């Protein structure tokens, strides 16, 4: 049961996106409730054309387009990203359709403060093309995972998962749609779970 105490401490949170931002929207809408433990202060995209930037701006969230192609290296980009996060006093980072691998340096600056949502039941199917891979393997179940980000791709500790049965007529397109619907609810639940237990400095 979620507390109705509106005076709870809310954790300044940033969301990293690369595209349409549907999971970002789910988190931002949840955070409109005063008793949700995250305050979405910032949305950053490595793609300046990302649809999600305008959606976030329309909700009154500060947005920063940070074109990764303008940087000479992954590390130089991540240092700039880190600078913006610190300048906005961010304490928690949610990757939501963020299509870049974070550098070891960046992950080391934010231990236990970066989470990601992935469209498979990790540790199965790290990386891309998860729905097709699940079908080709003949899996009976599929779903999504919210996990901590560490230096290993999709390798951090699992926070929560949502799973469902794969139907005989499922395709990669139907699995993508079914997973995405579950992602929105799962990410909101997972972020709330960890923030109610975290001690932010």
Q: What size, in residues, is the chain?
A: 201
118 is catalytic: yes
Three-class DSSP labels, 76-136: HHHHHHHHHHHHCCCCEEEECCCCCCCCHHHHHHCCCCEEEEECCCCCCCCCCCHHHHHHH
DSSP string, 46-82: SSTT-HHHHHHHHTT-EEEE--GGGSSSHHHHHHHHH
In DSSP terms, which residues pair with 62 in a beta bridge? 42
Write down the catalytic residue from 68, 82, 84, 118: 118
The CA–CA distances, whole Å, from 102 to 22, 26, 36 equal 21, 23, 27
Tell me the β-bridge partners of 141: 165
- Residue 32: name the closest of 51, 13, 16 by CA: 13
- What is the helix, strand, coil percentage profile of the chain, to 5? 35, 20, 45
Question: Which residues form the catalytic set?
Answer: 118
């Amino acid at each position: 049961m979620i507390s109705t105490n509106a005076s709870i401490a809310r954790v300044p949170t940033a969301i990293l996106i690369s595209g349409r931002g549907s999971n970002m929207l789910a988190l931002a809408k949840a955070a409109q409730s005063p008793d949700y433990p995250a305050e979405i202060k910032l949305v950053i995209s490595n793609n300046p054309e990302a649809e999600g930037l305008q959606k976030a701006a329309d909700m009154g969230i500060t947005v920063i387009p940070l074109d990764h192609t303008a940087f000479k290296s992954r590390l130089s980009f991540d240092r700039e990203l880190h600078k913006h996060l610190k300048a906005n006093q961010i304490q928690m980072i949610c990757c939501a359709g963020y299509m870049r691998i974070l550098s070891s340096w960046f992950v080391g600056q934010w231990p236990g403060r970066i989470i990601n949502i992935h469209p498979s039941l990790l540790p199965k199917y790290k990386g891309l093309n998860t729905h097709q891979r699940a079908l080709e393997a003949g899996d009976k179940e599929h779903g999504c995972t919210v996990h901590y980000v560490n230096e290993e791709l999709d390798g951090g500790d699992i926070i929560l998962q949502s799973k469902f049965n794969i139907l005989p007529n499922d395709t990669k397109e139907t699995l993508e749609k079914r997973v995405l619907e579950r992602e929105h609810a799962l990410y909101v639940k997972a972020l709330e779970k960890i923030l109610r237990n975290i001690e932010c400095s």
